[in-house]
Amino acid sequence: MNQRTVMDSGDITRSITRMAHEILERNQGADDVILLGIPSRGVPIARRLADAIEKAGGGVVYVGSLDVTMHRDDLRRNPTRAPSPTYIPDGGIDDKIVVLVDDVFFSGRTIRAALDALNTIGRPTAVQLAVLADRGHRELPIRADYVGKNLPTSRSERVFVRLSEIDDTEGVIIEAAR
């Protein structure tokens, strides 16, 4: 198996810190910002972003999770997905700036499903997107607002994010096609 590590623990931390500062700058602070992580690895990334925003002087940012399983357009092809819990912070998302947080941005279909899921919950002022790794190959006209690292990949390669909260190790790995 041909793998290469493109981000280590330090790279991940630096990327999250930079994205936190970009979120604060773009939104003139974090007063109305809510971070919603897309399970599974988007949730710990959202928590890390919230910690980085607080350390940067942005105050407390509420973090939730947004399961997109039932809004996906590939359920017929892959019907065995187990839904994850959705948790929306008290006060909801109405009139808030929602930053969707995911680990790897690929075709855009997961984010399209997340936008559909958000519509069932409330009406935010704005929706932004933060991703740790953007590997390109978009199939939908969706663009990330905050990117940890752009990863040029081929369609046949796979990108794996490993986080200590889930995997007991840290890194972003590109695996070549078999």
Question: What domains lie within the chain, and their CATH numbers?
Answer: 11-72+86-153 (3.40.50.2020)
Round to whole Å and give the CA distance between 87 and 141.
Answer: 27
pLDDT in tens, 108-145: 999 999 999 999 999 999 999 999 999 999 999 999 99
Arithmetic mean of pLDDT, 30-59: 96
pTM to 2 decimal places: 0.93
- The pLDDT of residue 84: 78
Q: How many CA atoms lie within 13 A of 170 on its CB side?
A: 12
Beta strands per DSSP E along 83-123: 97-105
In the structure, what pLDDT confidence band is assigned to residue 102 with cuts at 50, 70 and 90?
very high
